[in-house]
Amino acid sequence: MQRRAFIAGLGGTAVTWPLAAQAQQAGRIRRIGVLTGRAEDAESLGWVEAFRQRLGQLGWSDGRNVRIDLRADGDVERWQTRAGEMVASAPDVIIVVGNPGVTALLRETQTIPVVFALVGDPVGSGFVGSLARPGGNVTGFMHFEPAMGAKWLEILKTIAPAITRVLVLQLPEVMANNEFVRNAQKAGPSYDVAVSSAGVHNAGDIERAMATFTAEPNGGLIVLPNPVASTHRGLVAELAIRHRVPTIAAFRYMAESGALASYGIDINDVYRRAAEYTDRILKGEKPADLPVQAPIKYELVINLRTARALGLELPAMLLARADEVIE
């Protein structure tokens, strides 16, 4: 991976892919903006690299006919500023990751084509008119249906049958997060589990929510997809292990960071599919005519090291069902 292309952008600055001598050839170089809440580590850089590589397969070469501008900031409070900067740079198309980023961009532009990735409930959030016919300047790729809130609860209860209480960590400004919580709460009685939620915006909020919740026993944790949990995933895992709270999260990187389990999508695949929509838009198609696409596959990852640390004996059937077991 060509990491140097990203390093200058860490901490919220912009990155422009290096322009080779071929950039001076005839024809306009098209400009792609990428707005993400995570670009400070090798993993997230790898996702954007998957996007770049797929673009290359489709004929868009850095420095020859395309330039990619990456703007990254893990602080959701600064996303409106980043969105304004992105729109002011007047790219041909913008790739944005997460609901907060789409919300910020739509305040800045109704005309520049936007392709979103890792977004929940785009219709209910007001991003598109319908999944089949988005109708505006925005389309892209969903990560989870609202009903996934109940699915995460089901899996967590299967992994840790003793839990009777579950805390859901969410970013309440994200409408999709609220829908996940509601679906988990509706499903709670079916699993003899009381489901509550805590809105978190920073590390301090996470620590306070966990301290309050763990004052009573038999608790479990669901970590919803949002940039706050993503940025502080190590802290979430550390607190969960310290307080012996079985945890399920939306993305594989959370399990890799120490959460007991994750059930979610292949993020690299989403970035590659976003590159395909970008290609189609650069060739003249409109976001309004490109249907929003749902995930193709979900993967269950279990961290066996964490299970041992929590003193959990996991069912053999569950381990056999997992797509990956982290030893």
> Cα separation of 35 and 216, whole Å?
40
Cα 27 to Cα 206: distance, rounded to the nearest angstrom: 50
- pLDDT confidence of residue 6: 34
Which pLDDT belongs to residue 286? 97
pLDDT class of 25 with cuts at 50, 70, 90: very low
Residues 242-276 have pLDDT tens digits of 999 999 999 999 999 999 999 999 999 999 999 99
Q: pLDDT of 104-126, one tens digit each?
A: 999 999 999 999 998 988 998 89
Confidence of residue 2 (pLDDT cuts 50, 70, 90): very low
- What is the percent of the chain where pLDDT is above 90? 70
Structure tokens at 141: 């790729």
Q: pLDDT value at position 36?
A: 86
Tell whether the model's pLDDT for residue 162 goes beyond 90: yes
Question: To the nearest whole number, what is the mean pLDDT of the chain?
Answer: 88
Residues in the chain: 327
Cβ count near 317 (within 10 Å): 8
Cα separation of 259 and 252, whole Å?
9
**How do residues 293-307 score in pLDDT, each as one tens digit?**
998 889 999 999 999
Distance CA 122, CA 119 (A): 7
The mean per-residue pLDDT over the stretch 86-91 comes to: 96
Predicted local distance difference test score (pLDDT) of residue 264: 94
Determine the pLDDT at residue 21.
Answer: 34
Structural domains of the chain, ranges and CATH numbers in brackets: 4-142+267-289 (3.40.50.2300), 148-264+298-326 (3.40.50.2300)
Let me know: does 23 contact 30? Beta carbons within 8 Å: no
pLDDT band at 196 (very low <50, low <70, confident <90, very high): very high
294: which residues sit within 8 A by CB, 6+ positions away?
Answer: 131, 141, 142, 145
List Cβ neighbours of 55 (8 Å cut-off, separation of 6 or more).
32, 66, 275, 278, 279
Of the chain, the percentage scoring pLDDT greater than 70 comes to 90
pLDDT in tens, 227-247: 888 889 999 999 999 999 999
